[in-house]
Chains A and B, each alone.
Chain A
């Protein structure tokens, strides 16, 4: 079946199966910035923004995205570059597999929360698992991106 998604600001048509998930639709069309980690909506690496809200594309049926706006890091490169600069400064990136999904969550959080506390930040990103960093450097990098002087 055919669906239309506004993907990274341009309207794209996809021919999808009824039981197909958005993650597979995107990756099969070479949007490889969206990663597959657990295929069970438990790890966060497949995060995309659906109408501005972070969602897990591995468990979102592609047909549910029909008529909606989907954003990946490919669509907001300037802002993602700023996040990556903060991560680079804090040494918060290790294997990077969780980083595209996490960056989208951070981007959404900046727009949703005003002056979040450490706990607010942790609660917002808790679904983006990371096995490398131990989270401490990530938290510092997020605060740096949010404009806190460290």
Chain B
């Protein structure tokens, strides 16, 4: 391969660093109205009375919207395929406010200052209600977070709003209770995972205007432009043909921009005032009023025989979806479906639980999407089981983990909100990933610990992980390739580059098939008028799903080119050869630029365009083994993450450095969650961690050494052997760190994040026991 599996600079990195306008707000119309939102100071309240007279009277205020002014139509902001597996439990503005930061009213004014002044003039009388702030007390709590009429599920997802349940689910294979009873060794543990904030550098941003055809043009920093168009149309009852959504360059998403944030209110302002309008979330709003990761409690039981055969996994999950049920069921199911098949040889497995409403910031999609939570519980529990079995945790994994050619019944049972899809692991290089990771971290020299000087001890730990490559039979991506005179191509895709580099990867796939270079493939993505459809950037779908669509379109384009060449060269099709630049047959030649110029200007003129699409019939999981080396201070519990090793099977990494960046970005985000990132609330439900001062994300100084390698792997169903790689990196750090801390100092942390304080307390308890 000449383009794929090479180091190719991104197609846009240079222009962006050199400062060309690229992001949503760079493209806003001058003189846009500024849209600001009055946000709830209470975690749970009913608006008894709202008086906007003074705000409306302020010079420069163009529009004030309250729940009296919006359509009474419930929707979900989730930004998923349709019909959504998330309940329609949200109104554009509502009589109830369900978390501190929820929307009370919106103002559109000619300046930021006037808009803020207008917000302060809105008089609201609240009936303050008792909030539910402990998700373990949400079920059947007397405070019902969604008492309103008009909300519903799109298909059965276990939605019981009167019991504060957004979704529930149960599955089992075999008889778990019976199998556990027959096991030699059983362990049981509850694990808690915290909410994490996405903290993408570009805040949620949207602007819109009416164009010269009187259509609503929306520029949005979104991961899902086609879902935005559909949801705006359905909710505001505005014809979908009169809406165009453009996704400019997006400054990071991580799932946080899969949903709609601001698009609805800005669209309403534009439609009512006929003037351009824009909204940029403040950093406080990004923290307080967008999304977090779903916090969970995972109760897990594992049962094994003395010889180290894992026999049963029993898993109950309680998940906190916050005020709205976006991604409630699907994140919850992924906690099982993209974790439990790692150990596919068990006799019995059960997965069940509930997703409950609370008066917290709404939880939503976040890289890992349930798998990081499930991985922390399962991979920590496996090490705990090994301790009880007195067995080497790597040997245990090698004995029990899923291998190439194998399957798990879970694939067929659990999908995302629906039934799953049976599949065999055509590629699974976990055995290599484990062996290579052991070498790179010097496992044999260190495991379990090595005493250092100055009261420090070195520990190593590891975890396995899997993810997916899109959602089979749901996620569809499409691509169009157009030949231009001069012999270069346009590639238009619905796929959404949010900074992960998909424009580059997709151009590489087209270039490889058309035997040309990336500079001859001009990519344009995510414009609902101009590009074909794509479900969007989520579920690790782009490389596999959208990449397959690009490959199919490129194959079609090549066929068209060969046919044109055979006509021009007056030869049979099978006699024509093409090397990406020159067509040759029977000692006659024509170059691609000449051919394209000829069919554009001179003879038998036509436009060559190939469109194709792809929907997966399976979702080949990327796999990885993550290894961590950590130095722990035995007096204080402080620790340094000295080294993180990732050995990844993502099939063919289409862009070598790009894939490495995806893994390492995920590792560091996962380490943030494992060590200090923690969404914290006050006693009344106010968010304490609402800035980068109160919510720390990893900086350059927090990272010591990352080593990332890829296993040789070729997934036949993927484009040039690729699986996806966007999420897999985030899954292993919490469990690997938890295991390394245990190996170093004997303390098992079962509640994230893993802090020096928790380790110190654990060490004190151990001392007391002794």
CB-based contact B254/A84 at 8 Å: no
Which residues of chain B are near A87, meaning CB under 8 Å? 13, 17
Which residues of chain A are near B20, meaning CB under 8 Å? 33
Which residues of chain B are near A100, meaning CB under 8 Å? 16-17, 19
Does A131 sit within 8 A of B, measured CB to CB?
A: yes
Which residues of chain B are near A80, meaning CB under 8 Å? 17-19
Does B64 sit within 8 A of A, measured CB to CB?
A: no
B287 to chain A, nearest CB (A): 10
Q: Which of A38-63 contact B (CB under 8 A)?
A: 38-40, 42-43, 45
Which residues of chain B are near A103, meaning CB under 8 Å? 17
Which residues of chain A are near B656, meaning CB under 8 Å? 91
7 sample A-B contacts, Cβ–Cβ < 8 Å, listed by A number: A36-B203, A42-B691, A95-B252, A97-B251, A131-B199, A131-B697, A132-B499
CB-based contact A95/B250 at 8 Å: yes
Does A64 sit within 8 A of B, measured CB to CB?
A: no
Contact-residue size bin, chain B (C-beta under 8 Å from the other chain): 35 or more
Consensus secondary structure, chain B interface:
loop
B residues engaging A (CB < 8 A)? 7, 9-10, 12-14, 16-23, 25-26, 198-203, 249-252, 254, 280, 282-283, 498-501, 655-658, 660-661, 664-669, 691-693, 697-701, 703, 705-706
Which residues of chain A are near B705, meaning CB under 8 Å? 136
Which residues of chain B are near A129, meaning CB under 8 Å? 201, 692, 697, 699
Q: Which of A55-92 contact B (CB under 8 A)?
A: 72-74, 77, 80-81, 83-85, 87-92
The residue that B17 contacts in the complex, of A40, A84, A123, with Cβ under 8 A, is A84
Since A37-B283, A87-B17 are in contact, a sample of 9 more A-B pairs with Cβ atoms closer than 8 Å, ordered by chain A residue number, is A32-B21, A38-B283, A40-B693, A73-B19, A84-B18, A95-B250, A96-B13, A96-B499, A131-B252
Does A147 sit within 8 A of B, measured CB to CB?
A: no
Which residues of chain B are near A126, meaning CB under 8 Å? 699-701
Contact-residue size bin, chain A (C-beta under 8 Å from the other chain): 35 or more
The residue that A35 contacts in the complex, of B12, B251, B661, B701, with Cβ under 8 A, is B251
Output the nearest chain B residue to A36 by Cβ-Cβ distance.
Answer: B280
A141 to chain B, nearest CB (A): 10
The residue that A94 contacts in the complex, of B19, B500, B700, with Cβ under 8 A, is B500
Inter-chain CA distance A131–B202, complex, in Å, is: 10
Does A122 sit within 8 A of B, measured CB to CB?
A: yes
The residue that A81 contacts in the complex, of B12, B14, B250, with Cβ under 8 A, is B14
The residue that B16 contacts in the complex, of A45, A89, A90, A99, with Cβ under 8 A, is A99
CB-based contact B661/A72 at 8 Å: no
Consensus secondary structure, chain A interface:
loop
Output the nearest chain B residue to A103 by Cβ-Cβ distance.
Answer: B17
Output the nearest chain A residue to B499 by Cβ-Cβ distance.
Answer: A95
CB-based contact A97/B283 at 8 Å: no
Which residues of chain B are near A99, meaning CB under 8 Å? 13, 16-17
Inter-chain CA distance A72–B697, complex, in Å, is: 26
- Among A37, A40, A97, max chain B CB count under 10 A is at A97
Inter-chain CA distance A74–B727, complex, in Å, is: 34
B675 to chain A, nearest CB (A): 14
CB-based contact A88/B13 at 8 Å: yes
The residue that A131 contacts in the complex, of B10, B201, B655, B661, with Cβ under 8 A, is B201
A107 to chain B, nearest CB (A): 11
- Among A35, A74, A100, max chain B CB count under 10 A is at A35
Inter-chain CA distance A135–B665, complex, in Å, is: 8
Which residues of chain A are near B19, meaning CB under 8 Å? 32-33, 72-74, 80, 100
Output the nearest chain B residue to A38 by Cβ-Cβ distance.
Answer: B283
CB-based contact B203/A37 at 8 Å: yes
CB-CB under 8 A for A88 and B252, given A95-B498, A96-B17: no
Does A108 sit within 8 A of B, measured CB to CB?
A: no
- Among B14, B26, B199, B698, max chain A CB count under 10 A is at B14
Inter-chain CA distance A74–B12, complex, in Å, is: 16
CB-based contact B665/A132 at 8 Å: yes
Which residues of chain A are near B500, meaning CB under 8 Å? 94-95, 132
Does A133 sit within 8 A of B, measured CB to CB?
A: yes
Which residues of chain A are near B14, meaning CB under 8 Å? 81, 84-85, 88
Inter-chain CA distance A89–B191, complex, in Å, is: 41
Which residues of chain A are near B13, meaning CB under 8 Å? 84, 87-88, 93, 96, 99
Inter-chain CA distance A102–B4, complex, in Å, is: 29
The residue that A88 contacts in the complex, of B10, B198, B669, with Cβ under 8 A, is B10
A19 to chain B, nearest CB (A): 9
CB-based contact B700/A135 at 8 Å: yes
Inter-chain CA distance A136–B18, complex, in Å, is: 21
Output the nearest chain B residue to A122 by Cβ-Cβ distance.
Answer: B700
Does A137 sit within 8 A of B, measured CB to CB?
A: yes
The residue that B692 contacts in the complex, of A40, A121, A135, with Cβ under 8 A, is A40
Does A146 sit within 8 A of B, measured CB to CB?
A: no
CB-based contact A135/B17 at 8 Å: no
Which residues of chain B are near A109, meaning CB under 8 Å? none
